[in-house]
């Protein structure tokens, strides 16, 4: 059948219109990220829920996954001790646990119990730790130290370190000169060092290294020198070695001289 020119022209126009319509159709949603995100949050027209593809993809480990949550450090800090000594808390704990034997403010009135006032905090902490773990054996002090946390020990050390020590007095005039000689000069013929070399000429000691001994009760000092000498107290090898060179009379002399130091 031979078509007329008008029919051919109409067919050409319809073909061009069909091609134009196909060229103007929108792209597939999967190829458009913004369209995919929109379809994941908007309800589907068919009533089917969209698959949560985006959340699953974000869960893949990467640099961001290795970064700790900002809440974690804060949670640790909220429960961990600051480590800084609290003098007020130290006073409260000292009054409750220590003052009965060591006196108000650490100024013991009992010759057998040491004065703790004005003692170096680090020395107090070390002794309490060693009472607690048994390195310095003493049934009474071990029982009290067992009640204390590390923070309690820091607080107590800080508190007694701020207290003013009451002065003591030498009692034996015959021995005090011998005690002074040993304390200040030692005895070179026996390789006995001067006590002042570590505890300072006035007995103030050296913070974080050697304790203060100035004004300490002579009875207490003598008992500790004997304990070092006889191997009962073993938490200072240096003091054990020094005390091993002293006889009973020299120990009494040094202890008496120390009690009068200021």
DSSP for residue 66: G
CATH architecture of 87-161: Orthogonal Bundle (1.10)
Query: What's the pTM?
Result: 0.69
pLDDT of residue 15: 44
The percentage of residues in the chain with a pLDDT greater than 70, rounded to a whole number, is: 69
Whole-number Cα distances in Å, 235 to 61, 139, 184, 239: 53, 15, 24, 9
For the chain, which residues make up each domain, given as ranges?
A: 87-161, 173-259
d(CA 242, CA 129): 23
120-163 residue pLDDT tens:
999 999 999 999 999 999 999 999 999 999 999 999 999 999 99
- Domains 87-161 and 173-259 equal at CATH topology level: yes
The CATH superfamily of 173-259 is Cytochrome c-like domain (1.10.760.10)
197-235 residue pLDDT tens:
999 999 999 998 999 999 999 999 999 999 999 999 999
Q: What integer best gives the mean pLDDT of the chain?
A: 79
Structure tokens at 110: 């009992």
**Which of helix, strand or coil describes residue 176?**
helix
Whole-number Cα distances in Å, 246 to 159, 181, 186, 205: 34, 13, 10, 21
């Amino acid at each position: 059948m031979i078509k007329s020119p008008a029919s051919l022209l109409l067919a050409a126009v319809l073909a061009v219109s069909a091609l134009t319509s196909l060229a103007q159709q929108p792209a597939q949603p999967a190829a458009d990220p913004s369209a995919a995100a929109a379809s994941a949050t908007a309800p589907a027209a068919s009533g089917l829920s969209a698959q949560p593809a985006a959340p699953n993809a974000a869960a893949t480990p990467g640099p961001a996954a290795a970064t700790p949550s900002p809440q974690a450090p804060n949670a640790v800090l909220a429960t961990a001790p600051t480590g800084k000594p609290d003098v007020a808390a130290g006073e409260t704990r000292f009054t409750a646990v220590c003052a009965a034997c060591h006196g108000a403010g650490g100024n013991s009135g009992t010759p057998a119990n040491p004065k703790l006032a004005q003692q170096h905090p680090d020395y107090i902490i070390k002794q309490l730790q060693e009472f607690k773990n048994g390195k310095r054996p003493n049934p009474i002090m071990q029982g009290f130290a067992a009640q204390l946390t590390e923070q309690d020990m820091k607080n107590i050390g800080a508190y007694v370190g701020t207290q003013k020590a009451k002065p003591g007095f030498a009692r034996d005039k015959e021995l005090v000169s011998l005690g002074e000689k040993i304390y200040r000069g030692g005895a070179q013929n026996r390789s006995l060092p001067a006590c002042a070399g570590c505890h300072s000429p006035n007995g103030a000691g050296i913070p974080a290294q050697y304790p203060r001994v100035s004004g300490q009760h002579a009875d207490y000092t003598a008992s500790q020198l004997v304990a070092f000498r006889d191997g009962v107290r073993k938490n200072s090898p240096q003091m054990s070695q020094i005390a091993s060179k002293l006889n009973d009379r020299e120990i009494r002399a040094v202890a008496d001289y120390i009690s009068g130091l200021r």
